[in-house]
Amino acid sequence: MPVGSTDPPRISLFDRLRLYSEAALYIGATTGLSLGLYFMFRRYHTSADIPDRALKSRTKIRGYVLDVSDGDSLRVYHTPLVRWFEQKPEKKRGLAKYTISVRLSAVDAPEVSHFGKPAQPLSAEAKQLLVDQVLNKRVTIVPLAKDQYGRVVATVTYRSWWLGKTNAAHVMLRQGMATLYTGGNAQYDGEKELLERIQSDAKRAKRGIWGLRNYESPAAYKQKHK
């Protein structure tokens, strides 16, 4: 540059590209960190709060089970990663406003009595089996889809000191307290063959619903009582 010139120094194309790349990396890193912290702290209050990307990525969601309504439906109070050790709230009215409505994936349990419709045989026993497994316990759910009622269809697992990680749906099938769900939007999380084997074993042993003389599937029951 000539002596006394007031023109700014020229920056080569290579240096410009390097500066742009560094700026982009910085923005990306800070944005990623911010999003990561946001999702670590964010609590999903209801099923509606769970975004589609969480379903597509099978993002694990952990929390306490505060209610079991039948053999395949429950409500989970979400505790994000950084709040994992917080105490679960006392069950109170208005659960729908602060819990995630979850439908066990892959299984269909006998229908309980509601809206004036009679209960199916073993519906109370199926509900009790799910209660014994998960009520007031920490669980991990892997969301797979949402059903027509807005519930999250998910695998639900929990830990016990003698069995380790247990899949609640496996137990329901193994004990003959649910049948494999084959309706629309069925979700098996890559376990369809395993689930079919579990159900076949329960059938051969005539456990639960498979020991009933006039067994009617939950799907047939719902069709009849539309």
Residues with a catalytic annotation lie at 103, 111, 151
Can you list the alpha helix ranges (DSSP code H) found in 101-191? 123-134, 168-174
**CA distance linking residue 202 with residue 219, whole number of Å:** 19
Residue whose entry in the numeric block shows the structure tokens 């194309």: 13
Closest Cα partner for 156 from 133, 181, 129?
A: 133
> Comparing C-alpha atoms, which of 197, 188, 148, 159 is closest to residue 58?
188
Q: Are strands 179-180 and 164-167 parallel, antiparallel or unpaired?
A: unpaired
Q: Which of 137, 138, 154 is nearest to 72 (CA)?
A: 154
CA distances from 166 to 138, 141, 209 (A): 12, 12, 22
**Three-state DSSP class for residue 1:** coil
**Which DSSP category does 101 fall into?**
E
Both tokens of 34, joined, read 């911010």
